[in-house]
Structure 1
Amino acid sequence: MTTAQTTTSTRGARIEARDLTKTFGAFKAVDTLSFEVEPGRITGFLGPNGAGKTTTLRMLLGLIHPTAGSATIDGQKYHDLDHPQSIVGSALEATNFHPGRSGRDHLRVLAAAGGLPDSRVDELLELTGIPAAARKRAGEYSMGMRQRLGLAAALLGDPRVLILDEPSNGLDPEGIRWLRGFLRHLSNEGKTILVSSHLLQEVEQTVDDVVIIANGRMVRSGAMSELRGAPSTIVRTSDPAQLAGALRVADVLAQPGDDGELIVETTDKRLVGDVALRAGLPIWELRDRKADLEALFFELTEGTNRNLGDGNAVPTATAPTTHAPHETDAISGQEGANE
């Protein structure tokens, strides 16, 4: 393989949704949703349960036809990709395994469908940390083990794009920490990674960008740093107003916070301490102010969670864990909009 070919194979591919809409009868699961996911970055696709996340992911993967709008990967619809397994890997469900088939045999079947060697299977069993369970029946796997097996399946074709739906479900704290590091390693290789979750706290330590939806509509998107807001410091002292005035003289703005604290628009704690010393004020507390991203998430989505209720449920379908070239004949039923 030439150097140019190697660069192309490791470069991620851009994901783009434009006015993406999906309705099921009178129910609008996704409503004119537009966003981009850039190569070499991890994007968190966030929203409450029932927000339309899984429906959107399945439209990206060609498992559902949009009612309106478009979803493309590397500028093409999924079904127009010449070698989809080398472009896109996905893990949408952690239950899409034959219960009587071993984890290794499950991957071997998928590898054979994509023309990949068994050596790639063994490599990914090691990479995802499940070689000891490879000969065990998948039906006996814990949820965490199934998540790892699904991730291995998604990576079989060494894809440029990775789409994962709630990948941390069922993982213990050690597994979640491993997943974060693993995804960061993949993004550093240039891969495009889109990870859905219903809790911002789960992904805030990993993702670079976020797309937050509720009721199938966009409520916020952008870099994680934008959600965190400007860096600042919390100070407690005997006279917050006097310290705020002294800080203004030093060209540093400060605003009153809760319970008498002062929020100072700088992270230079030495500067704050020096100003307080010159003003003859004691410092009782001095710490970084961290944005409560989980609270922001709930603020953005509060009151928007749809309750489909009895009689309003829509049909669901089983999606492939990974995509061999044009596997649409293996997909049956209709997609649901309950996620």
Structure 2
Amino acid sequence: MDGRIDVRNLSKSFGTFRAVDDLSFSVEPGRITGFLGPNGAGKTTTLRMVLGLIKPTSGTATIGGTPYTQLTHPISTVGAALEATNFHPGRTGRDHLRVIASAAGLPDSRADELLTLVGIPAAARKRAGGYSMGMRQRLGLAAALMGDPKVLILDEPANGLDPEGIRWLRGFLRHLASEGKTILISSHLLAEVEQTVDDVIIIANGRAVRQGTIDELRGEKRVRVLSPQSDRLARALSDAGLQVRPAEGGGLSVIADETAQIGEIAYRAGVPVHELHSERADLEQLFFQLTENTNRNLGDPAQGFAAPQEGGR
């Protein structure tokens, strides 16, 4: 089994409410894929269908070509953390993991290995009810990794993490992807995962609105240059084979990888330059443009709320 996640024409309705609508995408092994959308877009409903927790109205979701409910050894195939609050408050982190290890036929020592792996060994004997949100996130990640699965599905994994924790999570997920694991993480904030993911799936109202790599979403690399002799500079740049157009707010926008290339052309042409810098698409702005006016799913019965809430799905 290669660990590839395939979602094909997946839909889910709750009565007359369409939470997920003809959604299709793939998540490849060895890559981190961000599953993004505003609160109430249908992300968690989709993940629950992938994990066999909700039956689709139509369509399919498979892992390595097999539906989750038909996996022979699910704990060694898929690890998931959909909530960071489903711990018994009176149970220690170690005991929580030991219960999971026992159910999976794994030794108790696996619990201590995972607590060390996710960076909270000192919290092993502390009751989960006293954990911070960040510690609960790490404990949930440890539980998801119990069976050393090929696939990891995480819902809002950076919630509650401080900047150092986010940086740790980013490096940790990168390490897991380098081992060939398939990683799917959901978020309602593109900026939160922009530096982490390789591929992006953006949904709104239960439908895919954009898919691709981070570089594809950013678009072509451009350089913005401002000169009091824009016409001369534009001719020099065009003569050098570069595509030039007027930039918003003044100056020129040039398709180029490096600012140095533009500076050298301007120098050779004897044209003064007052401003020169690289610019790429603002992914956060693009995200909001793609998902604006998409609040109809705030009331999705699968999400368990009927009004906008912080941290919703």
Shift of 1:290: 2.5
Instruction: Report how many residues are paired.
Output: 306
Residue matched to 1:124: 114
Instruction: Map residues 146-225 of structure 1 onto 2, 5 A cutoff.
Output: 146-225=136-215
**Which amino acid in the other structure matches residue 285 of structure 1?**
E
2:297 & 2:21 partners in 1: Cα distance?
A: 17
Q: Helix, strand or coil: the match of 2:249?
A: helix
The alignment status of 1:48 with 2:38, answered yes or no, reads yes
1:159 & 1:296 partners in 2: Cα distance?
A: 34
**Which amino acid in the other structure matches residue 198 of structure 2?**
D
**Which amino acid in the other structure matches residue 301 of structure 2?**
V
Shift of 1:238: 1.3
Residue matched to 1:239: 229
Residue matched to 2:47: 57
The alignment status of 1:106 with 2:96, answered yes or no, reads yes
**Cα distance change, pair 274–313 in 1 and its aligned pair in 2 (3 A):** closer
1:246 & 1:192 partners in 2: Cα distance?
A: 47
2:36 & 2:114 partners in 1: Cα distance?
A: 28
Q: Helix, strand or coil: the match of 2:274?
A: strand
Shift of 1:313: 5.4
Q: Helix, strand or coil: the match of 1:51?
A: coil
The list of structure 1 runs, each at least 4 consecutive aligned residues, that deviate by more than 6 angstroms after superposition, is: none
Deviations 1:195-216 (A, max 9, x none): 0000111111010101100000
Shift of 1:307: 5.6
Unmatched tracts of structure 2, length 5 or more: 305-311
Deviations 1:309-332 (A, max 9, x none): xxx552557xxxxxxxxxxxxxxx
RMSD: 1.4
The alignment status of 1:283 with 2:273, answered yes or no, reads yes
**Which amino acid in the other structure matches residue 173 of structure 2?**
L
Deviations 1:280-305 (A, max 9, x none): 21122222212200000001111112
The alignment status of 1:97 with 2:113, answered yes or no, reads no
Residue matched to 1:73: 63
2:78 to 70, 82, 88: 88
2:165 & 2:89 partners in 1: Cα distance?
A: 23
Contact 2:227/2:271, CA 8 A, preserved across alignment: yes
Normalised TM-score (structure 1): 0.88
2:295 to 305, 312, 325: 305
Contact 1:240/1:260, CA 8 A, preserved across alignment: no
Residue matched to 1:36: 26
Contact 1:15/1:72, CA 8 A, preserved across alignment: yes
Shift of 1:143: 0.5
